[in-house]
A and B are shown apart, each in its own frame.
Chain A
Amino acid sequence: MVVMEINTGTSIRNPVEPGFLRRAGRVASQVFFTPLGGIGCTLVLLILVIALFAPALAPYSPTAINVKERLADPSLHHLLGTDQLGRDLLSRVMVGTQTAMMVAMSALSIALLAALPLGLIAGYGPRWLDACLILVFDSLSSLPMIMLGLAIVVLLGPGIPTVILVIVIYSVPSYARLVRTQTLSLKSRDFIKAEQAMNASTPRILFGHLLPNVIGPLLILACLDISTVITLEAGLSFLGLGVKPQVPSWGNILSDGFSVIRSTALPVIAGGVPLILATIGFTFFGEALRDALDPKLARERKP
């Protein structure tokens, strides 16, 4: 059977290579023209544009205090009004978008970079190492995330690096697990066996052949995770345990707004709506992307 397949010359090819651009175009239209993906793409684009150009778009400095105009109602000067220190809420929300995206993107990149080698080692390396790594991943993912976050914050103190660390510790196990499963199933495929038969070096197999096949599902998973990560950052900041209080972030706006919730609802609405739109946008986008690319990647997001 194996010999026959090698003779036909189809299944020993690395499945990632052919027709990449054509496939990408098809996937893009598949993602965009579903209700889920359409809403998701629009929201994600909007958020990314605001995040990129926040300092230029924001009408005021997000940290400029103006006590005379504290808790001002929306007006032409302050479209969303001001908070209890007279800071312009619209500017804070915009720059907060940048903070959220920056934290989420850097944390997820670090997590992906850490998870790739760990997963490849677990999947391609010796059995005992695999067993050890899986046990560690299992223990980490059985830790209640927010509690773990709190424990780390007690020891390290609040700040962006701590938030990033919490996110990385939370996401590495699930990513590494995915890489491992993919590697295990790819390992027995003929195109890898053919490489091995041709005496290819282990790094060549790992990075030249396994990596390109593993990275697609991994990116989908990361995409589905962005909203969880944004929530985690905003949640920690809301508790006063995330980014520093003076840094504009959605969590901080909500936390400031919560303390004046009985006199005005505006800051809470201004901080919460973008957060809701971002989490919904990225979740819709991620789900549409998964449905288009890899429907079998069964990972239901749990609340």
Chain B
Amino acid sequence: MTIFVIRRVGLAAIILLIVAILLFSMMHLIPGDPTVVALGPRSTPEMREAFREMMGLDQPILKQLALYLGRLAEGNLGEDVWSRRPVLTIIFEVLPYTVTLALASFLWAVTLGIFLGCLAVVHHGRWPDWLIGLLSVGFVAVPSFVVALYSLLIFAVSLNWLPAIGAGAPGDIVGQLKALVLPSFAIGLGWVGYVARLVRAAMIEAMGENYTRTLRSFGVSERRIIYRYALRQALLAVLSVIAIGFGGLLTGSVFAEIVFSRPGLGKMTYDAVMSRNYPLVMGTVLVTSALYVTCMIIADVITAWIDPRVRSAL
């Protein structure tokens, strides 16, 4: 198990290294002065000079890369070209908003998804099962930003039940929670469908196992078998998927944060893109990739912990 974890972490480190090299070389692959490529034609000469100095653009290219990777190893992701503040500080300022949003979306996905999945199993083979199957594929397919726009339209603009913009005033817990409902629903809906399908499949599989037959022969009620034994099996499957999904949710927040004008990682990256702030974009892509890869490791470890056969696969 330890060896398994070490190998996964090693692979993740290599992947991050490749991502860093990719981000660095993209700036040089595009023809033209790298400072103009990265900062846009409207950047001032002072900004370009500062960027040139920060990236060491006068040096030979391999040395630049080595210097860049060295700075990354020290945890220095560079400076915002406009405000000259460290990129890492800016990222950690907005990260809590996005993490809260992602956690709230999970709440939707887990509660609603497991509920729908159980409903489908209880009515297995009849119309509710069929309908939930269709709905959950639909939920997965619908783009999250359209869900965000429509829920904004219905619940914030027309019905005026929930706030349309912002994350709620600091200290106002109820306001903050209210502001969380719609964006997290928009991001979570796709996962609701996914979890529902997963739960349904895992439970139906568990219902066919020999131990379920034994339970039935002992006279245990079908309801008890479903909720007590099959659901437990399904929850383990959901657990590992959720760990992978967390990384995806962090980046899926871009649209919800923009539609609802919430502060957060996605909104910040978008603003950085609009103001041609490449160091900031580079930093966010790296940090989100790191989070993503970390979630993948956690998911793999959970899966390996549940199912020892996986450990030998890599």
A258 near B278: Cβ-Cβ < 8 Å: no
A153 near B143: Cβ-Cβ < 8 Å: no
A283 near B137: Cβ-Cβ < 8 Å: yes
**With A144-B247, A150-B270, A241-B273 in contact, do A155 and B26 touch (Cβ < 8 Å)?**
yes
A261 near B152: Cβ-Cβ < 8 Å: yes
Chain B nearest Cβ from A80, distance in angstroms:
16
Residues of chain A lying within 8 A (CB to CB) of residue B247:
144
Please choose the segment from B211-219, B220-228, B288-296, B299-307 that sits at the chain A interface, where 4 or more of its residues have CB less than 8 A away: B288-296
Residues 147-161 of B at the A interface (beta carbon under 8 Å): 149-150, 152-153, 157-158
**With A139-B18, A254-B146, A272-B149 in contact, do A239 and B141 touch (Cβ < 8 Å)?**
no
Residues of chain B lying within 8 A (CB to CB) of residue A283:
137-138, 140-141
From B144, B146, B259, B269, give the contact of A147 (CB < 8 A).
B269
Chain B nearest Cβ from A94, distance in angstroms:
18
A238 near B30: Cβ-Cβ < 8 Å: no
Residues of chain A lying within 8 A (CB to CB) of residue B134:
35-36, 39
Residues of chain A lying within 8 A (CB to CB) of residue B19:
139, 142-143
B264-276 toward A: CB 8 Å interface, digit per residue (1/0)? 0000011011101
Residues of chain B lying within 8 A (CB to CB) of residue A262:
157
From A150, A155, A257, give the contact of B38 (CB < 8 A).
A155
B281 near A239: Cβ-Cβ < 8 Å: no
Residues of chain A lying within 8 A (CB to CB) of residue B285:
143-144, 147-148, 150-151
B254 within 8 A of A: yes
Residues of chain A lying within 8 A (CB to CB) of residue B26:
151-152, 155
B281 near A151: Cβ-Cβ < 8 Å: yes
Please choose the segment from B45-53, B59-67, B68-76, B189-197 that sits at the chain A interface, where 4 or more of its residues have CB less than 8 A away: B189-197
- Docked Cα-Cα span, A240 to B19, in Å, equals 25
Residues of chain B lying within 8 A (CB to CB) of residue A302:
140, 190, 194, 244-245, 248
A156 within 8 A of B: yes
Residues of chain B lying within 8 A (CB to CB) of residue A257:
149
A145 near B18: Cβ-Cβ < 8 Å: no
Q: Which residue of B lies closest to A144 (CB)?
A: B251
Residues 240-271 of B at the A interface (beta carbon under 8 Å): 244-245, 247-248, 250-252, 254-255, 258-259, 269-270
Residues of chain B lying within 8 A (CB to CB) of residue A150:
254, 269-270, 273, 281, 285
**With A235-B255, A283-B141 in contact, do A144 and B248 touch (Cβ < 8 Å)?**
yes
Chain B, interface SS category = helix
A28 within 8 A of B: no
Residues of chain B lying within 8 A (CB to CB) of residue A142:
15, 19, 289, 292-293, 296
- Docked Cα-Cα span, A263 to B281, in Å, equals 34
A303 near B194: Cβ-Cβ < 8 Å: yes
A265 within 8 A of B: yes
Chain B nearest Cβ from A132, distance in angstroms:
11
A235 near B145: Cβ-Cβ < 8 Å: yes
Query: Number of residues in B with C-beta < 8 Å to the partner?
Result: 66
A287 within 8 A of B: yes
A144 near B289: Cβ-Cβ < 8 Å: yes
A300 within 8 A of B: yes
B140 near A135: Cβ-Cβ < 8 Å: no
Q: Which size class do A's interface residues fall under?
A: 35 or more
A249 within 8 A of B: no
Residues of chain A lying within 8 A (CB to CB) of residue B142:
276, 279-280
B37 within 8 A of A: yes
A138 within 8 A of B: yes
A112 within 8 A of B: no
- Docked Cα-Cα span, A279 to B26, in Å, equals 31
B254 near A301: Cβ-Cβ < 8 Å: no
B181-216 toward A: CB 8 Å interface, digit per residue (1/0)? 000000001110110011000000000000000000
Residues of chain A lying within 8 A (CB to CB) of residue B248:
144, 302-303
B1 within 8 A of A: no
Q: Which residue of A lies closest to B156 (CB)?
A: A261
Residues of chain B lying within 8 A (CB to CB) of residue A252:
none
B35 within 8 A of A: no
- Docked Cα-Cα span, A269 to B22, in Å, equals 39
**With A155-B26, A268-B149, A303-B252 in contact, do A143 and B141 touch (Cβ < 8 Å)?**
no
Chain A nearest Cβ from B117, distance in angstroms:
14
**With A144-B289, A272-B149 in contact, do A154 and B137 touch (Cβ < 8 Å)?**
no
Residues 1-37 of B at the A interface (beta carbon under 8 Å): 11, 14-15, 18-19, 22-23, 26-27, 30, 37
Question: Can you sample 15 A-B contacts with CB below 8 Å?
Answer: A138-B15, A139-B15, A142-B289, A143-B19, A146-B251, A147-B254, A150-B285, A151-B278, A238-B255, A239-B255, A261-B152, A261-B157, A272-B150, A280-B142, A283-B141
Please name 6 further chain A to chain B contacts, defined as beta carbons within 8 Å, in addition to the given A151-B278, A153-B273, sorted by A numbering.
Answer: A36-B134, A146-B251, A154-B278, A239-B270, A257-B149, A303-B139
Residues on B lying within 8 angstroms of A by beta carbon are 11, 14-15, 18-19, 22-23, 26-27, 30, 37-38, 130, 133-134, 137-146, 149-150, 152-153, 157-158, 189-191, 193-194, 197-198, 244-245, 247-248, 250-252, 254-255, 258-259, 269-270, 272-274, 276-278, 281-282, 284-285, 288-289, 292-293, 296
Pick the 4 closest A-B CB pairs, nearest first: A303-B190, A144-B251, A283-B141, A139-B18
